Amino acid sequence: MIVTHQTADSEQQELWTLVYEQLRPKPKEKSLNACLNRLTNERLSESSVVVNESTAVVWREIWSTSELIKLDAKHNSVHDFDDVRPIVVVVVGERHLLVDGNHRVARWLAQKQQPNCTHIVLLISLRA
């Protein structure tokens, strides 16, 4: 049996791909990264940041429904359908900006799902 280990670079590439797969860009946006930056900077009225593979790192965590309450969500409207895709969170200082998955999180919280139900969270943090 051959076991190969991912390098940090290949793992980051896979995680960035997963982040971009969650996004739904507007027709005018030229790239998925442009969409990510728009979603992030819409939330930061006092400043703007550039989020990409060279300025930030991504990691994956599993959170319970009860942990989702700490997210800085844009809205609390829900869709009529269940969607279990990962959510995308950009960490800026102490804020955890929910940039993709607002409808999912609002649905999970509104349904008062079991507090131990788990969800995949893709966190992005700017490099120091």
Supply the pLDDT for residue 5. 38
Supply the pLDDT for residue 47. 77
**CA neighbor of 71 nearest in space, from 85, 82, 87:** 87
More confident residue, 80 or 103: 103
Rg (CA), the chain: 15
Judge contact between 41 and 48, C-beta under 8 A.
Answer: yes
Q: What digits encode the pLDDT tens for the residues 3-41? A: 343 457 889 999 999 999 999 999 999 999 999 999 999
The band of 107, judged by pLDDT with boundaries at 50, 70 and 90, is confident
Angle between helices 32-42 and 8-22 (to 10 degrees): 70
Supply the pLDDT for residue 115. 66
Judge contact between 9 and 58, C-beta under 8 A.
Answer: no
**What whole-number percentage of the chain has pLDDT above 90?**
57
Please give the model's pTM, rounded to 2 decimal places: 0.86
Q: How far is CA 58 from the centre of its chain?
A: 9
